[in-house]
Structure 1
Amino acid sequence: MIHCDNEFRRYHSNLPSLSFDSVFEDDERSGNTPLPHDVCNSCLCLLNIAFLRRHYFQLRQRNLASLCSACSQAVYFVSILKQVNKAIADKPTNEYMVTRDGKNDLKIGIVGFGRLGKQLAVILLDLGVIKPSDLYISTRCPEGLEKFQNEGICCCFDNALVCKTADVLFLCCLPSQLNTVAKDMQGLLSDTIVYSFVSGVSQARIRQLLKCGNVIQTTLLFKSNCDPIFEESTPWKFGRDVRESLADPKCIVETSPLCQKSLLEMDYQLIESYVHALMNKCIRKDVKEKEKSISICMSVLLGESSSTSEFKDILLDIMKKKTDIKEPPNVTRVQTSSHHDSIRDRIMENEAFRNAFTEQYVKVVQLCSNLESWNRFPIE
């Protein structure tokens, strides 16, 4: 029975007639079918069907926006880590070392290869953010990833191997699988940045399960008033995929975690985690002075904005009485924050920082989305 089911899905998975929306008309697929205002009781059933169809398409748009936001933020984060590597490598060797192990390429791991994990891998490869040889995937069914393996990507069912190898580990597993996955990884994540997309599990809980302090957790919460964005003219058109959406600058802006016009609630904790991750990257590459680490981080996050030097001074002020960052352990919120004064609080108060961050965020993602390697890895 299992064999027959797998064979059926393999041969019929791409047939349009079997998709859920195959019975809808073209105008209904656009999500813009108007609902009648005045209907008699005899038409109530038709009204309910139209209502359900409309909301179905809005859910599809929201799902696309969620996937795009996750992929766009991942592309941005990996890109700025590579910029930190380059900024350090461009400095004179007598100022500080390039790296402790002599390597500059980032190794990326993905644990969990459902819809999000697969989209994430395809986008990182498609946009040229990483090379196939630098990607490691752990999934329960690696035998089904022949196309990825043929490109030189390591596909296995070995969470421990992937987390030991990766510089950045994207957690894309289900919440119900997290405890099992965490047991495989405990004690193996000393220098790895864990970037979690596991929904419904807090950053503190993930740190506890993994016994790792270097964890980034994104929330991807839609604003309560974002429905009109999907109902009016919108870049989140039905029928687009993630790659097509990220080729649209309007979509990129709406995935920014600090944009006022974004679909998402502002995620100040995410940006605070970015700052910590970049500074820890500098520590591991032997940037010994606190001010130099902060200067590199701010130039990567904010570009040449006037807010760069201003926020550098703010960070120095916050860390003035904290543990020297050149000594272990890594920089954490415990070392860089107090109840009334934290990086997150300063970002919330500083509109210039938010605007500069969003402008640089869009530039970074848009630069990747313009590469000629587009559509190299088709998604079935």
Structure 2
Amino acid sequence: MVDLTAHLNSFSFEAGLTEEEKEFIHLRSRAAGLTFCGCAHAVFLCKLVQSLRCIIRGQPANRASLASKEDRDLCVGILGMGHVGKQLLRSLLEKSGIKPSHMKISSRRPESTVEFIHTGVECFFNNSRLAAWADILFLCCLPSHLPKVCAELHSHLSKHCLVYSFCSAVPVTRLAQLLGHDFILKPKYEYVTSDAADVWLSCTHINTALRDPLLMEASCPVSMRGGISLDLNWVCAVLYSLLNICTSAGLGSSAALSLINSVLKGKESHTVDLNTHNFISASYASTLLPDMPCPWISLTDAQIKETPLQCFLSSDKYLQQCISAAYKSLLQSPPK
């Protein structure tokens, strides 16, 4: 069906706005861009973690040392079904490859979950239960609800549950205090109005947008465009989270780095060669034998302090290209 109003300026969104109101039009692209980037980066994380866990689980030498929660498909929980929670769930269902039976939602508004019941995703209102079950827990609640939510989660989170916060107004250090937990990821986006920001206005439907190569390019974590930027410490924290997963599985440092390098290798000829000196201090790395696990890394510290990985990533253009290639490859590849 042809849109008869497509080229009629009098029917455009801007036509009914006053000059004063037009000054805020950039907020449309800002909201669309931040939502898209947040969902795309969350999917990227889940696909990395899922890939790594599958490789670990598939190696016979590792099976005996795996805990019961590690020897299963990735389980993802979403706490909160407002606008962000819904967009995130749509993105995960479309792109992550995670089975709907391995996703659960906790929402205090059951009417907000009705559209997802047919997908096979379990919906309930029990934050403690969700925390005890999930391997990755996405916090999509309002900042004003966070103290109460964290009190409900506090004693139910396992050390190895990766908490991912979309609560922009609450810094990661405060969240760590509220949860008594240090395995937390929180992206820190910055937005600057620019002509290039119009690229985000095509993000009307998240699932369609996630198939757009231009948006994949613009949202790439190490080379973002469209007026939105992301602190490189987030990328480093993602890599540290993969290292922690290997540590919790009892893998030696040599095997852990080998698996992480293989997960980051895209379809193209980009070969990643990260080593222990890139992740931890040179003095500690020099004492670490290949069969000894790497130390557990606090993701809170990794996001607020200068780390060896942050120093290396910020200066190594080849590694940035490798991560960019892995991002596009994972998001553009069909879910398995």
Specify the code of the residue in structure 1 equivalent to 2:219: T
Unpaired stretches in structure 1, ≥5 consecutive residues: 1-23, 34-45, 373-380
Q: How far apart are the structure 1 equivalents of 2:254 and 2:131? A: 31
The alpha carbon displacement at 1:235 in A equals 3.6
Specify the code of the residue in structure 2 equivalent to 1:191: H
Report the TM-score when normalising by structure 1.
0.75
The alpha carbon displacement at 1:169 in A equals 0.2
Pairwise mapping of residues 101-120 of structure 1 onto structure 2 (< 5 A)? Answer: 101=68, 103-120=71-88
Give the 3 Å change call, closer, same or farther, for CA 295–319 of structure 1 in structure 2: farther
Asked if structure 2 preserves the Cα contact closer than 8 Å seen for 1:84 and 1:300, the reply is: yes
* CA deviation profile, 1:226-255 (whole Å, cap 9, x unmatched): 51113xxx5433573222221111101211
Asked if structure 2 preserves the Cα contact closer than 8 Å seen for 1:318 and 1:343, the reply is: no
* CA deviation profile, 1:156-183 (whole Å, cap 9, x unmatched): 1111000110000001111111100000
Pairwise mapping of residues 199-214 of structure 1 onto structure 2 (< 5 A)? Answer: 199-214=168-183
Question: Which residue pairs with 1:377 in the alignment?
Answer: none
**3-state SS of paired residue (1:237):** helix
Question: Across the two proteins, how many residue pairs are aligned to each other?
Answer: 326
* CA deviation profile, 1:120-165 (whole Å, cap 9, x unmatched): 1111112352222111111111254233234332211111000110
1:350 to 313, 316, 333: 316
Give the 3 Å change call, closer, same or farther, for CA 84–29 of structure 1 in structure 2: farther
**3-state SS of paired residue (2:39):** helix
Does residue 250 in structure 1 map to residue 224 in structure 2? no
2:27 to 28, 49, 59: 59
Q: How far apart are the structure 2 equivalents of 1:337 and 1:84? A: 22
* CA deviation profile, 1:185-215 (whole Å, cap 9, x unmatched): 1122222100111012111111111001100
Query: What's the Cα RMSD here?
Result: 3.3
Does residue 300 in structure 1 map to residue 263 in structure 2? yes
Question: Which residue pairs with 2:3 in the alignment?
Answer: none
Asked if structure 2 preserves the Cα contact closer than 8 Å seen for 1:193 and 1:214, the reply is: yes
Question: Which residue pairs with 1:315 in the alignment?
Answer: 278
Give the 3 Å change call, closer, same or farther, for CA 338–80 of structure 1 in structure 2: closer
Question: Which residue pairs with 2:196 in the alignment?
Answer: 229
Asked if structure 1 preserves the Cα contact closer than 8 Å seen for 2:47 and 2:96, the reply is: no
The alpha carbon displacement at 1:52 in A equals 2.4
Unpaired stretches in structure 2, ≥5 consecutive residues: 1-5
Pairwise mapping of residues 87-106 of structure 1 onto structure 2 (< 5 A)? Answer: 87-91=55-59, 93-94=60-61, 97=64, 99-101=66-68, 103-106=71-74
Q: How far apart are the structure 2 equivalents of 1:178 and 1:54? A: 32
Pairwise mapping of residues 1-380 of structure 1 onto structure 2 (< 5 A)? Answer: 26-27=8-9, 49-50=18-19, 52-53=21-22, 55-56=24-25, 58-91=26-59, 93-94=60-61, 97=64, 99-101=66-68, 103-127=71-95, 129-189=97-157, 190-222=159-191, 224=192, 226-230=193-197, 234-237=198-201, 240-259=204-223, 261=225, 263-287=227-251, 289-303=252-266, 308-309=272-273, 311-312=274-275, 314-315=277-278, 318=281, 320-321=283-284, 330-332=296-298, 342-368=308-334
Asked if structure 1 preserves the Cα contact closer than 8 Å seen for 2:161 and 2:183, the reply is: yes
Name segments (4+ residues, structure 1) moved above 4 Å.
28-33, 95-98, 304-307, 322-329, 333-341
Asked if structure 2 preserves the Cα contact closer than 8 Å seen for 1:236 and 1:245, the reply is: no
Larger Rg belongs to: 1
Give the 3 Å change call, closer, same or farther, for CA 269–336 of structure 1 in structure 2: closer
Percent identity at matched positions? 24
Give the 3 Å change call, closer, same or farther, for CA 339–166 of structure 1 in structure 2: closer
Specify the code of the residue in structure 2 equivalent to 1:71: C
